[in-house]
Amino acid sequence: MLDLFDTRRYLIPFRGSLLPQVFTDTLVIGGGAAGLRAAIEAATHGDVIMLCKQGVPDSASAWAQGGVASVTTKDDTFEAHIDDTMTAGAGLCDAEIVKCVVEHAPRAMDDLMAWGARFDRTESGELQLGREGGHRSSRIIHADGDATGEEVIRCLWEKARTVEALRIFEDCFALDLLTPSVAPGAPVMGAITHHARYGLQMIWAKSVILATGGAGMVWRETTNPPVATGDGVAMAVRAGAGVADMCFMQFHPTTLYIAGATRALISEAVRGEGAYLVDRSGRRFMQDVHELAELAPRDIVSRAIHAELSRTGDTNVLLDARHLDGFKARFPGIHRLLGRFDLDPTQDLIPVQPAAHYMVGGVHTDDRGRTNVPGLYAVGEIASTGLHGANRLASNSLLEGLVLGERAGAASVEMRSADSGWSVAPPPAPVQIISSIPLSDHGELDLSDVRSSLRSVMWRNVGVERTGAKLRDVTEMIDFWARYTLDKIFDDPQGWETQNMLLVAALIAQSAVWREESRGCHYRSDFPKVHDRFAVHDFWQAGVNAPSEIPLKAAASTP
């Protein structure tokens, strides 16, 4: 098995003193909802630079068709939202963080609306609330039916443009986090980056907030944008940060399946409006699986579809929305998408199958985004906070990014104080950092082949259903590819992304091998039941080839 943590500290060789130097108080890496909200908040107490790997609209947040879950009416309660979240999380949610996020949701939505966010409303002017999988109440706030993420990003981007203390660098790839030494516990001091126009730069910061999103591109079938290659998790691990619950990748049950076409999400809100799943004969199969039928938690629906496909040998099942009134008005984006393939949802069944959608595990943090590395915070999909447990409840992701993005942005001020609470404080920047990497004596593999092969094997063996034998096969394959890829020096994002994907895939497979049970969106057919032994977070850190076990946190009042 690949020794995940015996990897070199930096992706490229460099001598820091010879590169351009940029300085700021807080560096935010990632421009989705969590990153934007963190940057806006951090700019209230200092200068901020926010890096976007490509452009601001290219984040997974902007692609989100689902909504934002928030208690907004007297018919709903915080306790009900908490209960639905805990149920979906399959016994692995931290009650403390669930309570924090749910109770802060209304204020987060008020902030967005005060900044100009336009959410769907009824004729009387009230918020129009929808229902999605796992929710027993209608509490989902949408924008333009199926374009909530796009509207949230538009609003936050417009707000960010008014913040004088915030600079945004687009087309800027963060290669690695800077630390003054490779010793465990060394504080983060910024990042080495590659700008499409200006080349390599050293960006020094007193605090760094990772908001790079997930790693959906590690799987062949995914709803994620091309930027979701796990870069943030990989650079955090190389800098000494611990990761938790990496085996938990949520597979969305309904992505449009057209042979040869890029997979596209068919929002859970379509099922929330009454669409249902059928097999080729027209039989509804979810009614026999769960009391909530098509609105069961996503892991249950995805597994049921997988079972149907295994039984029939088909490539997809079908989503029937023909009986819904006003589909075009309710879901204009999805209607346009289907039209490009000559599908009319009022007349045609929609071919769908599961696809990798949301990374539940990630860099382990507390309720303010703090990691185990001084000066380093993580928010949004990259973070493993304990909110989602073993499976994310629909529409809790944008909510998490907004609430915890704000909290991390506010907390990062502590790194500007001599009394930061950390036992190790960052030394004054800049310091001399030299990365020396010897030339590899191994042969070369074709990067495109490695990437394609990795994504295929992850889909086949680390997908909706897993077994120990197949997982161990995956670790051996990754070990082989890593031997000829991780030791190379590349000079473009494709190479760096591929190296990051290999490291993240290995972490996911290793976590999945360790967790010998089925829980949430991790299903082991050789261990099909939940075991109390695994009611903990598995925490992996550089230099340690076995996980620590972190117990769950009970509910407590959170300021």
pLDDT in tens, 118-140: 999 999 999 999 888 788 889 99
- Amino acid letter at 88? A
pLDDT for 382 beyond 90: yes
Nearest to 41 by CA among 545, 413, 422, 549: 413
Q: Give catalytic status of residue 336 as yes or no.
A: no
Higher-pLDDT residue of 320 and 559 is: 320
Tokens 């009454």 belong to which residue?
274
Supply 117's token pair: 């966010």
Distances in whole angstroms, Cα of residue 404 to Cα of each of 33, 101, 376, 387, 408: 10, 7, 14, 11, 6
Supply 378's token pair: 């993580």
Supply 150's token pair: 């796009």
Task: Give the percent of the chain with pLDDT over 70.
Answer: 94
Query: Taking the CB of residue 538, how many other CB atoms lie within 10 A of it?
Result: 23
Cα 244 off chain centre by: 13
Distances in whole angstroms, Cα of residue 456 to Cα of each of 58, 224, 453, 463, 495: 24, 15, 5, 10, 18
Tokens 């938790």 belong to which residue?
244
**Are the beta carbons of 133 and 297 closer than 8 angstroms?**
yes
Which residue among 154, 220, 298, 451 is the active-site one?
298
Residues 6 or more apart whose CB falls under 8 angstroms from that of 417 comprise: none
Sorting pLDDT into bands at 50, 70 and 90, what band is 1?
very low
Nearest to 223 by CA among 182, 192, 251, 184: 251
DSSP string, 344-405: -TTTSPEEEEEEEEEE--EEE--TT-B-SSTTEEE-GGGEE-SSSTTSPPTT-HHHHHHHHH
Sorting pLDDT into bands at 50, 70 and 90, what band is 542?
confident
pLDDT of residue 147: 78
Task: Give the percent of the chain with pLDDT over 90.
Answer: 77
**Are the beta carbons of 241 and 371 closer than 8 angstroms?**
yes
Measured between alpha carbons, how far is 426 from 432 in angstroms, rounded to an integer? 13
Sorting pLDDT into bands at 50, 70 and 90, what band is 54?
confident
pLDDT of residue 3: 58
- 446-496 tens-digit pLDDT: 999 999 999 999 999 999 999 999 999 999 999 999 999 998 999 999 999
pLDDT, the chain, mean: 91
DSSP string, 164-196: TTEEEE-SEEEEEEE-S-SSTTPPP-EEEEEET
Supply 160's token pair: 């960010």
Query: Taking the CB of residue 541, how many other CB atoms lie within 10 A of it?
Result: 19
- 482-498 tens-digit pLDDT: 999 998 999 999 999 99
Coil, strand, or helix at residue 239? coil
**Are the beta carbons of 51 and 27 closer than 8 angstroms?**
yes
Measured between alpha carbons, how far is 291 from 294 in angstroms, rounded to an integer? 9
pLDDT of residue 425: 66
Measured between alpha carbons, how far is 486 from 34 in angstroms, rounded to an integer? 30
Distances in whole angstroms, Cα of residue 284 to Cα of each of 66, 262, 281, 438: 24, 27, 9, 59
pLDDT of residue 555: 64
Q: Is 235 left (phi over 0), alpha (psi -120 to 50) or beta?
A: alpha
Coil, strand, or helix at residue 205? strand
7-32 average pLDDT score = 94
Sorting pLDDT into bands at 50, 70 and 90, what band is 95?
very high
Sorting pLDDT into bands at 50, 70 and 90, what band is 61?
low
Query: Taking the CB of residue 459, how many other CB atoms lie within 10 A of it?
Result: 18
Half-sphere exposure of 522 (CA within 13 A, CB side): 31
386-413 average pLDDT score = 95
- 137-147 tens-digit pLDDT: 899 999 887 77
Half-sphere exposure of 88 (CA within 13 A, CB side): 30
Judge if pTM exceeds 0.85.
yes
Measured between alpha carbons, how far is 359 from 212 in angstroms, rounded to an integer? 12
Tokens 């149907």 belong to which residue?
308
**End-to-end alpha carbon distance in the chain:** 44
Nearest to 278 by CA among 216, 222, 355, 349: 349
Q: Could you tell me the domains of the chain?
A: 48-248+360-416 (3.50.50.60), 253-355 (3.90.700.10), 440-531 (1.20.58.100)
- 231-289 tens-digit pLDDT: 999 999 999 999 999 999 999 999 999 988 888 889 888 998 999 999 999 999 999 99
339-351 average pLDDT score = 95
